[in-house]
Structure 1
Amino acid sequence: MRLLKWLLLLGLVLALILMWPRSEIPASFFEPHPVLAVPPERAGELLQVDDFIGRTPRPLDTYSYPIPLGEVGPSTPLFSGPKQYPFYCAWHQMGIEPPLVDNDQGYGVAIYTDDGVLPGYSKDCLHPSRLLWYRLSQDGTVAAYQGGALADDELLLRAELGTIQRYFYLLVMPVRADEFPLRTGQSQWNEKLIYQFHGGVGIGFRQGELRIERLLRNRASQLRQGYAVVSSSANRTSHSYHFLRAEEVARQVKQHFISLYGEPEMTIGIGGSGGGIAQYLLAQNAPGLLDAAIAQYSYPDMLSQVLYALDCDLLHNYYYFTADDKSFWQDWQHRQWIEGLSTVPDQQVRYQREISAIQLLSGIKPTPMDGATQCINAWFGLSSMVHNPHQGRLRPFVSAKLLQSTHWSYWEDLVDIYGRDQHGFAHSLWDNVGVPYGLQALRTGQLSPQQFIELNARIGSWLPQHQMQPERARFLPVWDTPIWLSAFGRHNMAPLKMSEAGIKVAPRYRANRDAVERAYRYGQLFVGELSIPVLDLRHYLDPVLDMHHLQPSFMARERLAKRGNDQWQRIWVSHPDYTPESEAFAAVVAWVRDGEAPAAASDRCFAADGQVIASGDDVWQQDGLCRQTYPVLSNSRQQAGAPSHGLLLQCALMPIEQALARGDFGAVDMTPWLNELDQLFPDGICDYQQPDLAYPLDWRYEED
């Protein structure tokens, strides 16, 4: 009966493919107002960094702040690199009028009047600054305000919206009703400023939007206390992870605010996920921009998570398609040995039916998984979105011609920093040469030597950027629903080849070392250079397979400790039913004001009812109560023997014989498999006792 069900499913999938054998993206998948063409100019300079970006002076900003109402802010980058094109405008997502026309040559998006006249095009998405007014009720309701009396529980908010460096900026100030409609009233300001950062995963090429009413609701408590709030769509990582660009915009947004209202007593950052990353990196790269940070659900940087996140689809391809014993890998516990991330027995794998269908199409009996893992439920598809230059986001926002000629990847977004290869593609910094996947499981006897050999022979790597292809899909008419014919981007993985030892081996990928070194120097990696209070705050989400797992908080701590800066970070973890945000603000304000960490800012963990489970210097030690309550897990690189700080993109290599002699395989005698190991690791195996090969030589400290 079960076999019949799978055969029927296979027949259905084949029928769909035969009925609709087209792979082109239908017109309705294009976002409204697409970018039609790009201009030849790319004004803007890239900061030249020889040492480290945090010690590199920035050029003087000669713009005369404040930005006059009705005019646009500065739009040519001073130090974050040339303007990026294509650049997709987001006025329709903001619900405001179109941007200013800036050319009649067809560059950018077409701008039409209400009666359908085409006066021109906008390549830079510029908007004049204007004031918006809102009333905020005690229950969190936000409504537009046009004058008149306020209810007793209502707070009046003035918001200024415009563009700086082509991105939207927002200044929010609590005011009295008698300060309407003035621009500069600030009687309710407590002289403290919040810089709101936002998360998400983006690859650039878009202006992005600000969700103003959501921001006002999220910051309602602080606004009622008199805080001012600023933000920018450049500081939302669902648009871009280019943190030099994000820094330049943040500097100018803050400078504009100061020119209107004066220097704040302190500036506190807050934001989750990518918004947490932004605070770690901007605190490191731009001293003085922030005075304290509340980094929620954070990673220390984007590259550290990409390193192991891009392993996930390679592992999935092995489990489902190239392993000899596929049934072994459908047990969630077995996968956890390799992946290190959280696993649960009572959840279903995302897209399990689609995966099974593609297995059938490949002539493989479906092997549904028993349980689920974070590696698949949280990271599925990341390889297509950030790594594949021909894929990016599914819904395109440029013309069909530009869709084909632009490289859509995280790497391309930072090409001015990372550089291009000989084929014209941005360097990928992902690297897995020499990585012995599953080494810890081999040492503990969970994997046999044969299983370890097969895993490392077949996991392979991602193809070079110029060899990658778009995801294989067909679109159903009417609904425009994609039917995926490729799983995990497996057609973009290095193919298996027969080695001299008679085993199938897929080659690994080596990143460009100069590009990785530039990532270090330009502050795209968090190296622990930081001297402001950081409260690393998160819910414990490992059991629900959310990508915001706990271990990255301790990655950041280890890096800070290596530089002697770990006194600046505190880690707070709570049950998902409780968010100690108000306590966090109170703690960092006291920390900045008094110049030392108060007792209320100590490491701690919280229960669902808000009670502090434990606090103090030892609660996150191995036997500490917080660590026992909220266990810290691992990732695929740690499971391969890499250091837990994760600051190792390109490992030093050593001969297999040296690894055997040093005991890197533990008590397992791998001598009988020496020939196979040499075929798997022809250039050597990772020596994790050495620092990153691309780590700048002039940065080396004695403790490295």
Structure 2
Amino acid sequence: MEKPSSKAALAAAVAGVMVAACGGHSESTPAAPDITLLSSKADYVAGDSVLVDIAAPAGGAIPGQLKVLANDANVSAAFAPDPAHAGHFVGLVAGLKPGTNVISADVGGRAATTHVTNYGNGPMLSGPRTTPFNCQTQDFVLPDGSRLGPPTDANCSAPTVVQYLYLPVGGNTLKVLPDTKALPADVATTTTTSGATLPFVVRIETGTMNRGIYQNAVLFNPAKDAAPSALTPPPGWNKGLIAVHGTGCATGWYIQGAAMGVSPYTATNLKRLGEGYAVFTNTLNHPTNSCNAHLAGETTLMGKQHFIKTFGVPAFTVSVGTSGGSYTSLQIADAFPGLFDGVFIDATFPDALAISMSAMDDKLLNHYLTVINGSGVSEQQMVAVSGHKSARAWYDLAVQSGRTDPVSGRTETIPTTGSFGGGYAAGAFNAAVPLPQRWDATTNPGGARATVFDVGRNVYGVDAQGYGLRPFDNVGVQYGLAQLSDGTLTVDQFLDLNEKIGGYDRNGNYIAARSTGSVDAIKRAYQVGMQLGANGGLAAIPIFDLSNFYDEDNYYHYQWFHFAMRERLRIANGDTKNHVMWRGGVSFADLFGIATPGRAERAAVNAKAQADAWALFVQWVKAYKADPGTVPQRDKVVAAKPAAVVDGCFTLSTTPRFIAETQTPAATGAAGTCNAIWPTWTYPRAQAGESIAADKLKCELKPVSTGDYKVAFSAAQSARLQAIFPSGVCDWSKSGVNQVPVVPYPSVGPSPVNLVFDITTQ
């Protein structure tokens, strides 16, 4: 199938999103029934079943006139009239076979047919199953404290379990419901956003899907409510659906996950459940279990399908995430347009690669300073070259390069004293991965490698030895260019740094030459959305971005990552009108219980930002979803934006005041009041000339010309500069090498639709 490769094609793909934000397909003829899939797109059916809506031809029909076949089997009994839509019949068509299935509907001799492709329990888009893979159903704790149980097959399956919990009067945590036929006397009540007042009882379903463990949660009274279905949704559900994502990345490989990253029924989600929202998640949506955003997208697609088949079509679906959950939300929204109707994020990163790539640069700078340093560069000078606020900030991001280093136990010279994030962890595995499975260059060269590149091998491809190809490339990068210009570095220091900075080999070892990234892996990183392009589904949904953490000195959750995401959105779509940013939050010292000035004020900022932003975000999503017009969705989103949804920050006070001001990345107050309170620093390649977007995995090169510099070079220095960059230096004014748009619903197998790569043919 021809792959979309232009903004027009992408816009068409976004405009043709699935019915009910999940999918739709119709091959009806005039005066025939109209068949619409409610739970999925026709090309991506999971779970051997699909929820179908059949609209009778003009004049209507009675149930006895409707005949529905699935692969020639009569499934008419599964359909019932939809009380909310006259002339429509809804039914769950189950028992689909793997691959292509034919569903037909006949009313009085007038017939329509549609084809669907079923992938069962997956995979459908994420490529061959990663091996090894360690099941953990036996360790997963259910809401009542019991375990899900041992896996029943090699795909880590386990029986589905439904349990009920309730909130007691005056309590703040759920308790197990002792009897499903009668509610306890101490059950609290809650009033939903729909105005319904009912007992605070939650139905929690746990099962397995796509080799992960899923859960969904929604208000439900088993003593009174009818069994849930698409036509009998829970009375307490307000028709809002929230996808929840976890955090982290390091150690996120080769495991199913023994716990969710964020429970669907604790903390903030308990409040959302009380408001009537439903919540769903999966262990594979927790990057600490699985640091693969493409797999997380496929898993979310399957999870939403299952939810719709169980409870009905939501009015809207939004994604919520912090840190690793922020980039998972963004990447899924972009590569799977229509799956989410908005994203609500904080501690934002554009993608996991943004952390890894910048961390690899930072580690090279640290290695030069502490091991090579032939020009007497000081730590203070190198902090400037790194772009970070302080040495601690620089080192804390450098430490995160451990997720790109497969050599378990390798030590580094990176200082970690005073770091909240811990030390350098190369080749780090979850304890559930047995030692014999783990890679070692000498004793187990065919083992599993603990890197972000190897866990994404289905996208990046592999080399002759089976190791994940690497997109990291620093050819032509002029480290410290800004410092050369402003006099922080001398010409000789600049030359020595760039001559000796070096790169890495495929095993994370330092080498004298610069790193050359795989151009094929780079292209696929863009196509699949492993490198966020922001030109897919993100172009046409509300994005609400909060700081949550504000700490430019510790633990790498820096403000520039927020601005990188925003700048990518601007580059891709011309403006950022569907994006709003609020700044201000707690520090990592607060999280670690360290008493520092301003702690109470930072906590107050966070609480107010989260509460106020959520209400406005939901108002925004509801408003554009209610617009019946035919204009492009992006136009609807911009038009529906509430007046209070504007950029801004909060004063640092126990009674924070919101300051409405366009947010810009600057380290001084000169660029606005918010930057005086919440300043931003950058990263090494910004100091080398790249924009804050950090979106070019490999730069295009231009010839070296001493006329491009603000300082003078001697003849000897000029010759040395030419020798350091024989192929040229980065031309940041151009798009990166193989920097292409994301492909909507990108496949690396087995689906042939929008197939960008098939590792089985490599």
Which residue in 2 is equivalent to 1:571? 581
Alignment pair present for 1:493 and 2:542 = no
Change in Cα spacing, 1:335 to 1:144, as seen in structure 2 (3 Å) is farther
Query: Is this contact kept in 2: 1:603–1:619, CA < 8 A?
Result: no
Q: Structure 2: how far apart are the matches of 1:212 and 1:606?
A: 27
- The letter for the 1-side match of 2:468 is A
Query: Is this contact kept in 2: 1:59–1:78, CA < 8 A?
Result: no
The offset of 1:142, in angstroms, is 3.1
Q: Structure 2: how far apart are the matches of 1:150 and 1:68?
A: 41
Matches for 1:210-229 after TM superposition, within 5 Å: 210=260, 215-229=265-279
The offset of 1:303, in angstroms, is 1.9
Q: Structure 2: how far apart are the matches of 1:212 and 1:514?
A: 35
Change in Cα spacing, 1:279 to 1:685, as seen in structure 2 (3 Å) is same
* More deviation, 676-685/439-448: 676-685
Alignment pair present for 1:511 and 2:496 = no
Query: Is this contact kept in 2: 1:387–1:411, CA < 8 A?
Result: no
Change in Cα spacing, 1:620 to 1:648, as seen in structure 2 (3 Å) is closer
Per-residue CA shift, 1:72-98, capped at 9, x if unaligned?
Answer: x94231122111111112234423143
Which residue in 1 is equivalent to 2:161? 130
Which residue in 1 is equivalent to 2:436? 401
The offset of 1:254, in angstroms, is 0.9
Q: Structure 1: how far apart are the matches of 2:678 and 2:45?
A: 46
Which residue in 1 is equivalent to 2:385? 338
Per-residue CA shift, 1:213-235, capped at 9, x if unaligned?
Answer: 57522312211211111111121
Matches for 1:163-182 after TM superposition, within 5 Å: 163-176=208-221, 178-179=223-224
The offset of 1:648, in angstroms, is 0.8
- The letter for the 1-side match of 2:214 is Y
- The letter for the 2-side match of 1:393 is A
**Quick one: which of 584, 588, 599 aligns to 2:643?**
599
**Quick one: which of 163, 175, 185 aligns to 1:143?**
175
Amino-acid identity (%): 25
Which residue in 1 is equivalent to 2:322? 272
Q: Structure 1: how far apart are the matches of 2:714 and 2:280?
A: 58
The offset of 1:565, in angstroms, is 4.5
Q: Structure 2: how far apart are the matches of 1:128 and 1:152?
A: 29
**Quick one: which of 732, 754, 759 aligns to 1:688?**
732
- The letter for the 1-side match of 2:277 is Y
Q: Structure 1: how far apart are the matches of 2:407 and 2:262?
A: 32
Which residue in 1 is equivalent to 2:65? none
- The letter for the 2-side match of 1:255 is Q
Q: Structure 2: how far apart are the matches of 1:329 and 1:146?
A: 66
- The letter for the 2-side match of 1:549 is Y
Which residue in 2 is equivalent to 1:415? 457
TM norm structure 1: 0.74
Change in Cα spacing, 1:58 to 1:383, as seen in structure 2 (3 Å) is farther
Change in Cα spacing, 1:516 to 1:336, as seen in structure 2 (3 Å) is same
Alignment pair present for 1:61 and 2:49 = no
Matches for 1:43-54 after TM superposition, within 5 Å: 51=5
Q: Structure 2: how far apart are the matches of 1:418 and 1:211?
A: 26
TM norm structure 2: 0.68
Q: Structure 2: how far apart are the matches of 1:644 and 1:443?
A: 18
Per-residue CA shift, 1:277-314, capped at 9, x if unaligned?
Answer: 11211221111111111111111122223221111221
Which residue in 1 is equivalent to 2:256? 207
Which residue in 1 is equivalent to 2:544? 535
3-state DSSP of counterpart to 1:566: coil
Which residue in 1 is equivalent to 2:136? 90
Change in Cα spacing, 1:618 to 1:680, as seen in structure 2 (3 Å) is closer
Matches for 1:197-596 after TM superposition, within 5 Å: 197-202=245-250, 203-208=252-257, 209-210=259-260, 215-324=265-374, 328-330=377-379, 333-343=380-390, 372-380=391-399, 382-388=400-406, 392-394=427-429, 396-403=431-438, 404=444, 405-465=447-507, 468=508, 492-494=509-511, 506-529=512-535, 530-562=539-571, 563-576=573-586, 577=603, 578-579=605-606, 580-595=609-624, 596=640
Query: Is this contact kept in 2: 1:575–1:607, CA < 8 A?
Result: no
Note the aligned Cα RMSD (angstroms).
Answer: 2.9
Q: Structure 1: how far apart are the matches of 2:177 and 2:435?
A: 42
Q: Structure 2: how far apart are the matches of 1:687 and 1:213?
A: 46
Q: Structure 2: how far apart are the matches of 1:649 and 1:58?
A: 34
User: In proportion to residue count, which structure has more helix?
Assistant: 1
3-state DSSP of counterpart to 2:569: helix
- The letter for the 1-side match of 2:580 is R
The offset of 1:247, in angstroms, is 1.4
Q: 5+ unaligned residues in a row in structure 1: which ranges? A: 1-46, 103-122, 344-371, 469-491, 495-505, 700-704
The offset of 1:397, in angstroms, is 3.3
Q: Structure 1: how far apart are the matches of 2:296 and 2:155?
A: 17
Per-residue CA shift, 1:98-121, capped at 9, x if unaligned?
Answer: 33333xxxxxxxxxxxxxxxxxxx
Alignment pair present for 1:646 and 2:655 = no
**Quick one: which of 146, 150, 157 aligns to 2:202?**
157
Q: Structure 2: how far apart are the matches of 1:655 and 1:378?
A: 32
Per-residue CA shift, 1:5-37, capped at 9, x if unaligned?
Answer: xxxxxxxxxxxxxxxxxxxxxxxxxxxxxxxxx
**Quick one: which of 659, 674, 689 aligns to 1:614?**
659
The size of the alignment, in residue pairs, is 558
